[in-house]
Structure 1
Amino acid sequence: MTTQTTTADTPHTTTADERTGLIALPPHIARATATAGGALTVVSAFLAWTWTPAFPGDLTYYGYPGGLQWLVLIGGALTALFGLASYGVKGTRWLVPAGADSAIKLSALAAFVTAWYTVIAISVQLGGVINLEPGGYVVALTTLAALVGALALPFERPHLLPADPEDSGWDQFKHRAGNQWATVKAALATGPVAPARKLPGYVEILIITAVLALGLTVFTYGIGTEYDELFLGFLMTAGFGLAALNKAGLIARVSGLTARHRNVAMIGAFVAAAAFPFTQSDDQYATIGVNILIFATVALGLNIVVGLAGLLDLGYVAFLGVGAYAAAMVSGSPSSPYDVHLPFWAAILVGATVSMIFGVLIGAPTLRLRGDYLAIVTLGFGEIFRITVLNLDGTSGPDVTNGSNGISSIPNLNMFGFDFGAAHTIGGFTIGRFANYFFLMLLVTLIVVVVFRRSSESRIGRAWIAIREDETAALAMGINGFRVKLVAFALGATLAGLAGAVQAHVTYTVTPEQYQFAHVVPPNSAFLLAAVVLGGMGTISGPLVGGALLFLIPNKLQFLGDYQLFAFGVALVLLMRFRPEGMIPNRRRQLEFHENEEAPATLTKAGA
């Protein structure tokens, strides 16, 4: 049996052997096995997996999932849902605009990895498989069956003809257009694809609201995991689950809705973020929340320099330190060499202004450099800043920064009679110190997002993108490259200074060790750059998501000790290998990365 896949120029014949999955099973049996396995996995989550509550999460109950069982249940439910969608069940086809087979494989893998990790952890920690209850064996078998069925599903890749290097520009354009059309047709042929249906505006807004609520739930769950096994299971389920949603085309479909309602999506996102402190009973996780916002906001500021203007800055954390030190010196700290106590609005302006000045002073003589040379210079600036503040202690140099002791005992903010250091009761919820600063930092984040959005859409933003794409061509078109890059450098430094002023009050103290190029605890320049690249350069939500992950994961992986950075590095290498454009990519950069292969953006939108 053969099927015909036609490209722009010649037909390609795909044999039945090429269409089989990794395991040789008929497609209808494979799909039924995966779907049934996912449904049975959901049932197995309601059984007891072990007889003793000694394993974290107490998986001894029948009829009520606990801990890791909830994560396996989610993986099984996604597998069953995508399986039903592959049959064209009414009400499910909207979820798989790009086809269900790849999504089934990833969701089945999520359930399998999490379930088997739990079963193995129970056996190792409690001393053998004898400690498993029947539910433990059942979930192991059902997830294995679902994975076997998923891996047996047909795998089809559109066959594209290589471009002839001697073709003219018009011929290459026709060839690429033909290949993209062939890709769309091949994607449409892989299974039942739901046609895009125009939804009423209020329905689209309700969908956006539901997605934001789900995002808040996932974030709150991840940040509030109480033991290491649960957080590792959460990472597995969330990672493979999001990959499954992406392969199904659902994330792209939701992104299209948010693009149509950008203002509603932005306001909803900040409302959801503002609801986070009300989900916490104490300041334990609100502390992590405010630090995540600081780190993510600084990453967004760096995105102007790296993502929009294409300037590789390896010393950006120094501008965060400049803003923090400047604000700390004028905030009334007893260890400050200056007897100045300005109100916060003035202190944050001082921090932002001083950072901007440093950005101009550093950028003016160095921004005529490009690429690696600029990276080396900015790396040097970061180290010079740290060594300078370390030596301005009154012994090695003038008494300005108090040396290695830093500036400590920075007083809490008191704005309009509202004491940020005291707990307050709002609507029956007690909001502690770090929750107060969380709301303040959320306001700063909103300012940074608005500045980034307006700048990127302005004339100067288009000039930054032109410089990033091809500086020589941009200069030939009349763009003043030096001035444009200097504006990007100064604006990025200013936004970092804003976040640094808040950070100084949140942490009570600023020391030189906080602003190294690379160390285990973020923020530092290496993690900031990784957050921008990991999240997606040139986007707003990319660095925010990347920054949140790069702060949360190291904070939760401290139990790995010396292996923490090793595990983290392996994860980054794998992500950059399989998704180099980042988790939330800019459309132009995504097409650049996949120019000579099947473009995920094209496949994802195949059914739209």
Structure 2
Amino acid sequence: MRTMTDTASSRTTQLRVLALAGGIATVASTFLSWTYTAEFPGDLTVYGYPGGLQVLTLTAGLLIALFALSALGVKGLRWLTPTGSTKALQLFALGALATTWFTVIAIAVELGGVVNLEPGGFVAAVATVIPVVAAFLLPDDTRKATRPKELPSWAEILIIVAAFAIGLFVFTYGIDTEYAELFTGYLLTVGFAATALFRAGLIARLNGLTTKYRMIAVSAAFVAAAAFPFTQNTDQFTLIAVNILIFATVALGLNIVVGLAGLLDLGYVAFLGVGAYTAALVSGTTASVFDVHFPFWAAVLTGAVVSLIFGVLIGAPTLRLRGDYLAIVTLGFGEIFRIAVGNLDGVSGPRITNGPNGVPNIPDLNFFGYNFGESHTVLGFELGSYANYYLLMLLAMILVVIVFSRAGNSRIGRAWVAIREDETAATAMGINGFRVKLIAFALGATLAGLAGTVQAHVQHTVVPEMYVFAGPVPPNSAFLLAAVILGGMGTISGPLIGASLLYLIPAKLQFLQDYQLLGFGIALILLMRFRPEGLIANRRAQLEFHETDQLDVPDDKPGAGVSTAKAGA
């Protein structure tokens, strides 16, 4: 028996060494030329200097080697795998394989055959197979994470700061990618790497630290987000970041309605339009029928209040409906809003919104003499107009996050969750279901209107086509709902991540414009199958969707058949 155990242990060690060798070979392959022509984006023709997609393969190879060393028990690296190394190694190896083979295939397809590959490309393709084979032959060593070693407070705070700094670097690298091939490889590498870190238990460890030092973690997150404009030389990608923040803020407002209160709202984008049109009409533009020019703070309050009024007016007669009936009514409201603002042109109806032409030439915001449309030098860095709006929208999103977190943890928040879980039972316990749902609907509308006021000035125009149920350009109701579901209903970070992905992917991969809904539909199906609680799981939803067998009884005990049947179901 002991000999068999020693043999198995020796085989495991050999496979981990093989995975390490594969990771090193993968890294080495990136210093070779993969193709002989610079026509492929990134110029992969240089020896000794990785470029473009080779950098992603290099990163994946380094991670494979690092976690293989941790699996081998190298002192100082064991903390990398608190819940086991096998699953993490498998995912890192798959990430390297996917990125490298995508690059090799893209070279062959775009340049006209495998003849365009240099020996380095074939070496990389073979080298990335080695760690995959080794990792999948390893026995599963998943274990329960032990209590981490207590570190000094300064060290734990430093880890939190480093984690957010790395997050900023990864996000900046992705948004700054200049061609579709590099962004696709970036998605593959980051997707597999994030999943691997989760399976290794590092994400859980980091969550524990951020919970322990909550205020420091929140401050670090804000500083990292605010630092993004200072990493950009132009406004080219800052505009994408501004729109991501607008999309994410509106998605977080929808999360109150859908994620907390459980109300399926398919016309939520109309409230964004109400806030945008209101701000546009009082902005002082010559295209407005109202000869008024509100200051910034008054325009924001006006847009939020008008959206609140519309939320109450729409919610009061409709929130007595449930389920699909409520969804149909809200869908109708969204379409009515789009058609109505398209007809208020002085011909089909009163002249208010200029109909299909919308309200153009919306001036830039001017707040206490700070013109958001002009470049400003801050801390030695020149910030363009979109960088100004980015920082403003970041403050608006922080306000929405505070409102969401405070409301979700309050008495009214618990009432929303009770209504979402079982409205009949909640009503029987004394909760006024209609009033509670109306508050959620009105609050969500207000937050959407707040984001709309900033969007109007960022886009400098508002037209009816910007506020549809489904269209090629987010935000729209379908994309907002998908962001909440994909990210994780009832959480704060879930919709933010979901909105970022759903906006960034179409913005960087232009060839997917005509297939966005198909892609998101497939993503939703896969998510429902493998992670129904969303990318960032709400603890309650995670327990509901992933039943445990804690109550199962042994087969030799009475009732074992019932327990087994339950587990099978």
Counterpart residue number, 2:562? none
Is residue 119 of structure 1 aligned with residue 104 of structure 2?
yes
**Cα distance, 1:137 vs. partner?**
1.7
Is residue 372 of structure 1 aligned with residue 327 of structure 2?
no
Superposition pairs of residues 465-476 of structure 1, within 5 angstroms: 465-476=417-428
Match of 1:133, as an amino acid?
A: E
Match of 2:233, as an amino acid?
A: S
Distance 1:415 1:398 in 2: 32
Distance 1:362 1:325 in 2: 18
Distance 1:432 1:131 in 2: 42
**Cα distance, 1:87 vs. partner?**
2.0
Distance 2:473 2:396 in 1: 22
**Cα distance, 1:445 vs. partner?**
0.7
Is residue 187 of structure 1 aligned with residue 143 of structure 2?
yes
1:88 to 73, 85, 92: 73
Change in Cα spacing, 1:205 to 1:335, as seen in structure 2 (3 Å) is same
Counterpart residue number, 1:173? none
Is residue 197 of structure 1 aligned with residue 149 of structure 2?
yes
Match of 1:250, as an amino acid?
A: L
Counterpart residue number, 2:471? 519
Corresponding residue SS for 2:128: helix
2:543 to 567, 577, 591: 591
**Cα distance, 1:561 vs. partner?**
4.8
**Cα distance, 1:568 vs. partner?**
4.2
Corresponding residue SS for 2:237: helix
Contact 1:93–1:194 (Cα < 8 Å) also in 2:
no
Counterpart residue number, 1:103? 88
**Cα distance, 1:572 vs. partner?**
3.7
Distance 1:567 1:454 in 2: 35
Counterpart residue number, 1:72? 57
1:274 to 223, 226, 248: 226
Contact 1:319–1:359 (Cα < 8 Å) also in 2:
yes
Distance 1:145 1:587 in 2: 38
Corresponding residue SS for 1:425: strand
Distance 1:90 1:57 in 2: 38
Contact 2:260–2:489 (Cα < 8 Å) also in 1:
yes
Counterpart residue number, 1:483? 435
Counterpart residue number, 2:23? 38
**Cα distance, 1:564 vs. partner?**
4.3
How many residues are paired up?
546
2:343 to 387, 391, 397: 391
| Partner deviation per Cα, 1:97-129 (whole Å, 9 max, x = no partner) | 221111111110000011111112122222333
Distance 1:233 1:545 in 2: 19
Contact 1:114–1:236 (Cα < 8 Å) also in 2:
yes
Distance 1:117 1:527 in 2: 28
Match of 2:482, as an amino acid?
A: A
Counterpart residue number, 1:58? 43
Distance 2:13 2:379 in 1: 55
2:181 to 224, 229, 254: 229
| Partner deviation per Cα, 1:279-317 (whole Å, 9 max, x = no partner) | 111110011010000000000111111111111111110
Distance 1:123 1:43 in 2: 22
Is residue 448 of structure 1 aligned with residue 433 of structure 2?
no
Q: TM-score, normalised by structure 1?
A: 0.87
| Partner deviation per Cα, 1:382-434 (whole Å, 9 max, x = no partner) | 11111111111111111111110111111111111111111112233211111
Distance 1:554 1:126 in 2: 25
Is residue 290 of structure 1 aligned with residue 275 of structure 2?
no
**Cα distance, 1:546 vs. partner?**
0.9
Distance 1:395 1:261 in 2: 60
Match of 1:151, as an amino acid?
A: F
Distance 2:287 2:124 in 1: 59
Q: TM-score, normalised by structure 2?
A: 0.92
Corresponding residue SS for 2:377: strand
Match of 1:220, as an amino acid?
A: T
Distance 2:513 2:311 in 1: 36
Superposition pairs of residues 411-560 of structure 1, within 5 angstroms: 411-560=363-512
Match of 1:534, as an amino acid?
A: L
**Cα distance, 1:228 vs. partner?**
1.1
Counterpart residue number, 1:137? 122
Distance 1:294 1:597 in 2: 42
Comparing 558-567 and 106-115, the one that deviates more: 558-567
Superposition pairs of residues 230-379 of structure 1, within 5 angstroms: 230-379=182-331
Unaligned stretches of 5+ residues in structure 1:
3-14, 157-185, 599-608
Match of 1:483, as an amino acid?
A: R
Distance 2:408 2:81 in 1: 32
Superposition pairs of residues 17-28 of structure 1, within 5 angstroms: 26-28=11-13
Match of 1:187, as an amino acid?
A: R
**Cα distance, 1:470 vs. partner?**
1.7
Distance 2:523 2:48 in 1: 36
Corresponding residue SS for 2:143: helix
**Cα distance, 1:83 vs. partner?**
1.5
Comparing 37-46 and 275-284, the one that deviates more: 37-46
**Cα distance, 1:576 vs. partner?**
3.4
Contact 2:300–2:453 (Cα < 8 Å) also in 1:
yes
Distance 2:519 2:502 in 1: 13
Distance 2:241 2:258 in 1: 25
**Cα distance, 1:560 vs. partner?**
3.5
Distance 2:430 2:13 in 1: 61
| Partner deviation per Cα, 1:329-382 (whole Å, 9 max, x = no partner) | 111111111111110100010000000011111111111111111111111111
Corresponding residue SS for 2:76: coil
Distance 2:546 2:143 in 1: 16
Contact 1:98–1:187 (Cα < 8 Å) also in 2:
yes
Please tell me the root mean square deviation across aligned C-alpha atoms, in Å: 2.0
**Cα distance, 1:449 vs. partner?**
0.8
Percent same amino acid at aligned positions?
67
Contact 1:96–1:194 (Cα < 8 Å) also in 2:
no
Contact 1:33–1:146 (Cα < 8 Å) also in 2:
yes
